[in-house]
Amino acid sequence: MNVAPVDVAAEAPSELAQLKLILSHVADLGHAETVLGWDSRVSMPPHGAAARAEIVGTLGRLTHERFVSDEVGDLLERLRPYEETLDYDSYDASLLRVTRRDWERQRRIPAALVGEIWRSNGLAVAAWDDARAASDFQAFVPHLERQLELRQRYVECFPPAREPYDVLLEDYEPGMTAAQVEAIFAELKTATLPLIEAAPEIDDSFLSGDFAIGAQEEAGRLVLDAFGVDRDAWRLDITTHPFQAKPGLRDIRLTTHYRPGDIHSLFSTMHEFGHGVYEWGVDPALARTPLDSGTSSAFHESQSRTWENLVGRSRPFWRFFYPTLRELFPDHLRDVDEEAFVRGVNKVRPSAIRIDADEVTYNLHIVLRFELERQLLEGRLAVGDLPDAWNALMQEYLGVAVSSDAQGVLQDMHWGAGLVAYFPTYSLGNVISVQLWERAVADLGDLDEQIARGEFGALREWQREHVHRHGRKFRPDELIVRATGGSIDAGPYVRYLQEKYSGL
């Protein structure tokens, strides 16, 4: 029997409405977890951590069970014929494709392990907090060992990969492997070392001092206003280790960290804005579905690094904002002209702390973490030997002597939070940021002039159109081709660094 060609999608079957209802409940539970996670890092008293870990563990397990249920699997199966009538780009096709991928992946993980992972993350982050405050790595050792053991059990839920790292990386950067990361990082390392050697001496002494927190807060608010945040839909709070969270549609939470001795909070706020604007720009039609967030961690970082660095450390941005900053800090900046300031905030200086690193040395901090966590995961490095290995690589790559574990191996919360294989996405984000930037400049023409006038709307709209609105509809390796015409490529980023730093 001949079947007539389908030129319009069949009417959505009732199973689709049933599936969407379940997915909306799963999303609601996820948003509740987000509120609790935000609260635990912004307002919860520290001694609440143990009780909170239980709550989040329970919620995480329930969310998981609801999502990986047979019911969802049956609905996905019954919807296959309908899916085949749809356009790849359509909302329903994307929803079914991504839900199926998530379901097949998450179904492999027993609910008890999911709950245990959530619970352990809560406890280990609290332990990391204390260990870092006391610079006591030994106190963190049992927690880190437990976190690695849970990651190994997680990896065992999947078919054998080339290496365990690949299984974890898939959660943050679908389609990417450790071997690919290694190749991109080799390129970054080769390009970076000569730039450090050639870095000019720059006086940035005016960036240290006593910068009133109130004026820093005002600077941050003014920048966010200029970038275009709607104060009725965004918040900015204080935390130790800044992050962004979206507990629901039109609810974007940024955090920052103020230090009296410098104005780093401003760059941290711009960074988190980049994450927030990505989540803000996801098509509202995707709300309460698995499509409602950024497509990958590297894509997310590409947006945060764009606002922090490509905008926030650029000459045009300071042409616009330096007069305001100078008014807020007259005692510090009276004798510092715009050019001296721009050179100061871009100074290349190897240092111990990743989040304070300039754009050139930053990637070496990531390469170091990637190499160490890969060894930890394969059991080639014992947790007890981690500080020595860390300090040796800091010396080798950056020529920096680490003064304490708080300034070294304990500086980041990621491993405590269970984020193993996450670090590479920061540098991959840098790489993608410049690939996207080149396209935006080609499309927008006078982007530098717009930024110098304090106009950010066209850039934001370009990002929304080419990246943000799609949410998770397309995998990162698809989205980058759609947005830039090519695959991930370190070349543009390397050229950007070379040009920027030779002109400084």
Cα 121 to Cα 29, 143, 423: the distances in Å are 18, 9, 17
148-187 binders of Zn ion (CB under 5 A): none
Residue number, 111 or 355, with CB nearest to Zn ion:
355
One-character DSSP codes across 12-49: PPHHHHHHHHHHHHHHHHHHHHHHHHHHHHHTS-GGGH
- Does residue 363 interact with Zn ion by CB under 5 A? no
Instruction: Round to whole Å and give the CA distance between 479 and 485.
Output: 9
- Minimum CB–partner distance for residue 413 and Zn ion (Å): 13
- Minimum CB–partner distance for residue 485 and Zn ion (Å): 26
- Minimum CB–partner distance for residue 242 and Zn ion (Å): 8
Residue number, 63 or 304, with CB nearest to Zn ion:
304
Instruction: Round to whole Å and give the CA distance between 164 and 378.
Output: 7
Q: Quickly count: other Cβ atoms within 10 Å of residue 394's Cβ.
A: 22
CB 467 within 8 A of CB 299: yes
- Minimum CB–partner distance for residue 453 and Zn ion (Å): 27
Q: Is 107 helix (H, G, I), strand (E, B) or coil?
A: coil
Residue number, 64 or 414, with CB nearest to Zn ion:
414
- List Cβ neighbours of 249 (8 Å cut-off, separation of 6 or more): 284, 287, 288
Binding-site residue total for Zn ion (CB under 5 A)?
A: 1
- Minimum CB–partner distance for residue 247 and Zn ion (Å): 18
- Minimum CB–partner distance for residue 353 and Zn ion (Å): 15
Residue number, 373 or 412, with CB nearest to Zn ion:
412
- The DSSP output letter for 397 is I
272 tagged catalytic:
yes
- Minimum CB–partner distance for residue 345 and Zn ion (Å): 18
Angle, CA of 465, 469 and 470, to the nearest 5°:
110
Instruction: Round to whole Å and give the CA distance between 293 and 473.
Output: 9
Instruction: Round to whole Å and give the CA distance between 411 and 238.
Output: 18
Instruction: Round to whole Å and give the CA distance between 39 and 53.
Output: 12
Residue number, 304 or 309, with CB nearest to Zn ion:
304
- Minimum CB–partner distance for residue 256 and Zn ion (Å): 12
Residue number, 304 or 435, with CB nearest to Zn ion:
304
Alpha helices (H) along 338-416: 338-345, 359-377, 386-393
Residue number, 115 or 242, with CB nearest to Zn ion:
242
Residue number, 345 or 419, with CB nearest to Zn ion:
419
Give the residue among 428, 434, 430, 436 at the shortest CA–CA distance from 479: 436
Minimal CB distance to Zn ion: which residue?
304
Helix, strand and coil content of the chain, in percent to the nearest 5, comes to 65, 5, 30
CB 396 within 8 A of CB 157: no
Give the residue among 38, 325, 75 at the shortest CA–CA distance from 207: 325
H or E element, residue 235: strand 234-238
Q: Which of 65, 173, 197, 272 is catalytic?
A: 272
287-316 binders of Zn ion (CB under 5 A): 304
Rounded (10°) CA dihedral 460, 232, 220, 366: -60
User: What are 238's strand-pairing partners?
Assistant: 256
- Minimum CB–partner distance for residue 139 and Zn ion (Å): 27
Residue number, 61 or 305, with CB nearest to Zn ion:
305
Is beta strand 251-256 parallel, antiparallel or unpaired with respect to 244-248? antiparallel
473-492 binders of Zn ion (CB under 5 A): none
Query: In the structure encoding, which two tokens stand for residue 29, read together?
Result: 């539970």
Positions that interact with Zn ion (CB under 5 A): 304
The residues carrying an active-site annotation are 272
